[in-house]
């Protein structure tokens, strides 16, 4: 029988940097969502955040995060469901190993300000998974599109055009960048599912109901040639890789942001929609999130005009 496991990582503040007021609220909401809507057992959900109610062993330092990822992955059997969720701060650093097309590694920040780059996340969270295991990762942070370095992310785009770009509103300090765009969400997988803009296409009915969040879809495998926009699909019985889906709050060159006045975040939109629509397609889920983020963009644009 398949089991479920989850690691939830919250970074409310790193060192003396900017704060994420919604971080700990989101952690508890995500835990409740997994338990009440996705049948995860509370004892199989690890909450990592810097709070006096949490054991120091679960403070989200670099060593602690990687240890908990390794523990979750090591005990995974074929057909198990894993859920990894990060809410915090994303960053980019110069790639030193020529593995990034844009010359930048994406990274998450720990509560001490240290980075975990995408290559390391993939090495610990994706590469050791057994065939048939299903991982769903949600990254509510800046620069998060290719946070797991999944080979087939290009053939997964739901939309081909970016959102409007604002300035100075990101969930980041200015030392990390000035530009900001609204959320542009992706579905990426190691043994990958693809989503097209047209809900009537072969991917339009891809659903989130067996996830533990994982999709029902035929997928290309990573030994295929370099990813194109139309990679060939593999039947489920022909897959040789685990099934990994990564949803991100923005592109690699963009900043994510929240509406702290209303408590609105990509995480909130994600949970709200799936609680009301437990068998939603990815197309409908992402369309909803895009619509809600556009609302934040409109309100903030109007606020800037009024200043």
CA–CA separation, 137 and 69 (whole Å)? 12
Strands (E), the chain: 4-10, 45-48, 81-87, 90-94, 104-109, 115-117, 134-140, 165-167, 179-181, 243-248
- Better-scored residue on pLDDT, 123 or 209: 123
Q: Over 90: is that where the pLDDT of 49 sits?
A: yes
Among 76-85, 105-114, 234-243, whose mean pLDDT is lowest? 234-243
Helix (H/G/I), strand (E/B), else coil: 98: coil
Residue where the block lists tokens 């508890």: 28
pLDDT tens sequence across 229-271: 666 656 555 566 788 888 888 888 877 777 877 888 999 999 9
């Amino acid at each position: 029988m398949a089991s479920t496991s989850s690691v939830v990582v919250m970074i409310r503040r790193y060192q003396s940097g900017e704060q994420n007021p919604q971080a700990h609220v989101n952690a508890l909401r995500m835990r409740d969502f997994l338990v009440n809507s996705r049948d995860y057992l509370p004892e199989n959900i690890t909450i990592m955040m810097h709070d006096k109610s949490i054991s120091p062993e679960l403070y989200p330092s670099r060593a602690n995060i990687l240890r908990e990822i390794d523990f979750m992955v090591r005990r995974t059997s074929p057909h198990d469901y894993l859920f990894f969720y990060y809410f915090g701060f994303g960053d980019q650093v110069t790639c030193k190993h020529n593995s990034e097309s844009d010359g930048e590694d994406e990274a998450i920040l720990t509560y001490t300000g240290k980075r975990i780059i995408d290559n390391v996340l993939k090495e610990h969270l994706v590469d050791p998974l057994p065939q048939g295991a299903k991982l769903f990762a949600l990254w509510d942070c800046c620069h998060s599109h290719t946070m797991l370095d999944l080979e087939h992310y290009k053939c997964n785009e739901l939309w081909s055009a970016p959102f409007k770009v604002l300035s100075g509103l990101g969930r980041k300090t200015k030392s990390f960048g000035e530009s900001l765009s609204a959320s542009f969400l992706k579905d990426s997988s190691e043994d990958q599912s693809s989503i097209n803009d047209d809900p009537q296409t072969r991917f339009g009915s891809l659903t989130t109901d067996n996830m533990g969040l994982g999709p029902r879809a035929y997928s290309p495998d990573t030994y295929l040639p370099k990813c194109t926009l139309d990679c060939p699909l593999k039947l489920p019985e022909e897959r040789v890789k685990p099934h990994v889906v990564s949803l991100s709050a923005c592109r690699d060159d963009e900043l994510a942001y929240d509406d702290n006045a209303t408590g609105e975040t990509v995480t909130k939109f994600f949970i709200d929609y799936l609680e009301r629509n437990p068998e939603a397609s990815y197309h409908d889920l992402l369309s909803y999130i895009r619509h809600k983020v556009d609302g934040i963009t409109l309100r903030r644009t109007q606020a800037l005009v009024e200043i």
